[in-house]
Structures are given as C-alpha cells and as structure tokens.
C-alpha cells in the first residue's frame, strides 16, 4: 500500500513538477477558450444557413455536417498537422488543434442548433412576419432565443465534450496539461504527474459534467 | 491542382498502402465492436444495479460513472497504459483502448439506462406485481423492454461518438488504421495513405451517423404523435 502511495501520490515529485502542470493547465484553458466560441459560432452559422437555404443548399449542408461528424477528431488533426505541410500549408500545433476541434464540432453544434431551430413552430415565423420583422430580425430576435433555450442541455454536453478533446493536442507535441504530465513523468519516473493531471481535469470538469448529467436525466424523465 | 492530386490522391501510393491500411481498418473495427459491446453490457448492468436500495453500492456506481464521464478519453487511455505498470499491472494497447473507451461508454450508458428505467411509469410496476410476477421477471419482461426503447436514440449517438475514439489508440501504439497510415506516410513522405484512412473512416461512420439521425427523428416523431393523442 505504501509502495502504491509512493508511486501514485508522491509528494516530492508533485512539488518538483507542479510548475510544469500549471503551465500545461494554462495552455489547456487557453485552447478551450479559443476553440469553444469558434466552434459555437461556426455551428450556429451552418444551422442558420440551413434554415434559410433552398433544397440544394440544405442537402449540401447536411452532407457537410454528417461528414464532419463522421471523422474522428484525431484524424482531422493528423490530416491538418501532418498532411497539409505537403502542399505548403503549415499550422502550429496549437492552431492545428484549434482548427481540427472547431471543424469537428461545427458538425456537432450545427446539428444541435439545427434541431433547435426546427423545433420552433412555424407560427412564430408568421407572427414575426405579421409584425413586419425582416428575415434576420425574425431569426435573431424571435426564433433563435427560443431555439437556444430548447437545446441548452445538448449544447452544454457538447461543450464539455469539446473541452475533453483538447488533450489530443498532446499528440502533436503541444505542451498542454496531458503532455506536460507526460513530460513530467519522464523526470520523476513515477505516475504521480499523470495522476495529478487526471485529478486537475476531474476537479475542473466535474461540476459541468454533473450539471450535464442532471439535465440529461431530466430530458429522459420528461419523455 | 496536380500537386494536390499527387500528394493526397496518389493512386499508386494508395494501392501500395492498401493492405496495411486494411489491416489497420480491421483492428479499428474490432476495437469499436468490443468497446460498444463491453460498454453497453456493463452499462446495462450498472444501470439496473443502481436501482438497489443499498446506499454504498449506489454511491460506488455514481463515483464510477462520474469519473468516466468527466475525464477525457485520451487521459484515461494514457493513465491505464503508462501508470498501471507501476502497480505491476501491464496491459496490451488493445486491452487498454477497449477498457478505457468501454469504461467511458458504460458510464454514459449506465446513466441513460437508469434514467430510462425510472421514466417507465409506476403503473407498469404495479400492474406487473398485480399479475403476480416476481421482481427479476418484472424487470426483464415489463420494464426493460420499455426502458431500452427510450434509451436507444441517446445510446446510438454516444456509442458512435465513443467508437470514433478508437483512433486515440494510436497514442499507445495500437496498430489501428490511423497510426498505420501515419507511419506509412512518414516513411514514403506522401500523405495519400492518410487520405485513404480518412475515406475508410467516412465509409464506416457515415452510415452510422445517418442511422442515428433516422432513429432520433423516429423517436421524436413518436413523441409528437403521442402528444397529439393526449
């Protein structure tokens, strides 16, 4: 038992490597803070285009959404980071990760917003038109607020999943939290840094995760 | 344009890489199936087990589901593979990926099954009891069939999303499709194998994504009709 503690929760190792972990944590937060709004915005754009589009545009957008949802995000990252330099386009590890996660989540968020927009009754559009509101005003002032309220649960769930995909940046050697922990492990020769990184992820994400569980539970109970 | 074709859609390169990529595809497929089966079976068991009045068991299950729902998948994979050996437990990349992703899916599935079981109206339990059915029989024949129907739309989405995580196995040198195509690309300095792998991923997951959209729409349709009847 004390052997296990010595390995998995070694106080000296922790003191030695915590600056590295903090630095990694900062990058993880930065990565999430940049990517989440980008993915939300592009998902919303796709969904709004869908609701304004004609039949052809709708089919094209649906195919785009499904294709983006079909790629594992790591495949997108590898394509961008290792594939694009062959035609002279080079992204840093940070921006490659941002682009990969944004593209992937454009599909997910696009699908969620699309479902939300579809759930708003036609009467709302008609009422807005009767009040003399234009297309964009109808969308922004009448439809969107109702649509977003209906999909808060899947939106938060997906936001959590997005933050949870940021460790893939470790695979393109970006020193975010996971990568920092791996580097630290090579210095301490015990898994304490990895355990500490996992603990940090858990402490930060658990409140959101718990809240998403509650929302999901309510959504099922209401069916 | 030619440069793009030569680099990403180089047919002769793809032909050479095809056997290896296909082998990787087989592993990706196998891991995905194992993850889904393991995740759903364990999830169903935990979801049912959580109905117990024993608090310690309920608490243990809640801790398990929250840990696996909260930690990033890659962190769990790395932790299993690089930390467990220090406790004298060494597992293969294949087992690591299946256990990690299966664990994550089982946590989500447990919560979904549990909520779906509770969503079955109390009257169903009462009616089954009035018919003289024993508890296991009530659960298996009356409650679960209804609960599973409720759970399926949510489960398909989760199962697909998590099965896509098999690509993360490349982090622990599981020779699945992505890492295979990546290493060929590194050797021959041409990314066409990665394009090929990407195409196989589309082939595998597009039907599933479309299927899940159908199932979801079907579920919502039923809901609307049920609403209209009321």
- B168 pLDDT more than 80: yes
* Mean pLDDT confidence for A61-90: 90
For A117, list phi and psi in degrees, rounded to 5. -65, -40
Q: Do B198 and A86 touch (CB under 8 A)?
A: no
- What local confidence, expressed as pLDDT, does residue B220 receive? 67
Which residues does chain A have within 8 Å of residue B63's beta carbon, measured at their own beta carbons? none
A72, A209, A221 ranked by CB distance to B164: nearest: A72
Q: Domain containing A48: what range?
A: 2-222
Give residue-wise pLDDT tens across range B115-167: 999 999 999 999 999 999 988 889 989 999 999 988 988 898 889 989 899 99
Does the domain at B2-204 match CATH 1.10.3720.10? Answer given as yes
Domain chopping of chain B, boundaries: 2-204
Q: Are A157 and A215 in contact (CB under 8 A)?
A: yes
A202: CATH:
1.10.3720.10
CB contact residues (below 8 A), chain A span 176-205, against chain B: 178, 182, 185, 190-191, 194-195, 197-198, 201-202, 205
Residue B210, min C-alpha distance to chain A (Å): 7
- What ipTM did this prediction achieve? 0.90
B70, B182, B206 ranked by CB distance to A209: nearest: B70
As a whole number of angstroms, the longest Cα–Cα distance in chain A is: 74
Instruction: Please state, for a pLDDT cut of 70, what percent of chain B lies above it.
Output: 95
Residue B37 or residue B221, greater confidence = B37
- What local confidence, expressed as pLDDT, does residue B54 receive? 94
Residue B217, min C-alpha distance to chain A (Å): 10
**Domain count along chain A:** 1
- What local confidence, expressed as pLDDT, does residue B131 receive? 92
> Which residues make Cβ contacts (< 8 Å) with residue B75, sequence separation at least 6?
A167, A178, A197, A198, A201
CB contact residues (below 8 A), chain B span 50-69, against chain A: 65-67, 69
The reported pTM is 0.90
- What local confidence, expressed as pLDDT, does residue B221 receive? 60
Give residue-wise pLDDT tens across range B199-224: 999 999 988 888 888 887 777 664 44
Give residue-wise pLDDT tens across range A167-190: 999 999 899 999 999 999 888 888
The answer to whether B82 contacts chain A (CB < 8 Å) is: yes
- The pLDDT confidence band at residue A64, using thresholds 50, 70 and 90, is confident
Cα separations (Å) of B35 from B43, B160, B172?
A: 11, 10, 16
Instruction: Please state, for a pLDDT cut of 90, what percent of chain B lies above it.
Output: 63
Q: How many residues does chain B have?
A: 230
Q: Do A70 and B205 touch (CB under 8 A)?
A: yes
Residue B114 or residue A86, greater confidence = B114
Q: Do B72 and A221 touch (CB under 8 A)?
A: no
E strand or H helix at B220, and its extent? helix B192-229
Q: Are B24 and B170 in contact (CB under 8 A)?
A: no
């Amino acid at each position: 038992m004390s052997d296990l503690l010595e390995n998995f929760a070694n106080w000296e190792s922790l003191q030695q490597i915590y600056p590295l972990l903090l630095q990694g944590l900062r990058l993880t937060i930065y990565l999430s803070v940049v990517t989440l709004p980008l993915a939300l915005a592009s998902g919303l754009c796709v969904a709004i285009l869908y609701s304004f589009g004609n039949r052809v545009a709708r089919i094209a957008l649906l195919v785009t959404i499904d294709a983006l949802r079909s790629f594992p995000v790591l495949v997108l990252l590898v394509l961008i980071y290792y594939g694009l330099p062959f035609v002279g386009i080079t992204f840093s590890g940070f921006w490659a990760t941002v682009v990969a996660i944004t593209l992937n989540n454009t599909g997910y968020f696009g699908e969620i917003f699309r479902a939300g927009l579809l759930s708003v009754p036609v009467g709302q559009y008609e009422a807005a038109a009767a009040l003399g509101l234009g297309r964009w005003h109808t969308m922004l002032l009448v439809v969107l607020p109702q649509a977003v309220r209906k999909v808060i649960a899947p939106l938060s769930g997906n936001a959590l999943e997005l933050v949870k995909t940021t460790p893939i940046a470790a695979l393109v050697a970006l020193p975010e939290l996971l990568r920092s922990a791996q580097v630290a492990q090579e210095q301490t020769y015990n898994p304490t840094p990895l355990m500490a990184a996992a603990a940090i992820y858990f402490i930060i994400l658990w409140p959101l995760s718990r809240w998403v569980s509650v929302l999901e539970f309510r959504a099922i109970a209401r069916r | 344009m030619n440069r793009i074709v030569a680099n990403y859609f180089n047919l002769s390169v793809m032909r050479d890489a095809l056997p290896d990529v296909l082998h990787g595809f087989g592993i990706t497929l196998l891991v995905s199936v194992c993850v889904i089966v393991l995740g759903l079976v364990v999830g169903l068991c935990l979801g049912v087990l959580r109905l117990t009045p024993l608090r310690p068991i309920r608490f243990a299950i809640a801790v398990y589901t929250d840990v696996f729902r909260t930690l990033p998948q890659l962190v769990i994979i790395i932790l299993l593979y690089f930390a467990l050996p220090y406790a004298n437990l060494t597992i293969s990349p294949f087992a690591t990926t299946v256990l990690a992703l299966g664990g994550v899916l089982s946590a989500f599935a447990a919560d979904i099954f549990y909520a779906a079981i509770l969503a079955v109206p109390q009257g169903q339990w009462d009616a089954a009891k009035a018919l003289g059915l024993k508890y296991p029989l009530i659960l298996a024949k009356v409650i679960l069939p209804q609960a599973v129907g409720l759970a399926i739309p949510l489960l398909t989405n989760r199962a697909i999303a998590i099965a896509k995580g098999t690509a993360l196995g490349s982090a622990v040198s599981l020779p699945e499709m992505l890492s295979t195509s990546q290493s060929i690309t590194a050797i021959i300095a041409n990314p066409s194998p990665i394009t090929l792998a990407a195409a196989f991923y589309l082939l595998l997951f597009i039907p599933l994504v479309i299927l899940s959209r159908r199932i979801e729409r079907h579920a919502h349709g039923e809901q609307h009709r049920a609403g209209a009847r009321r």
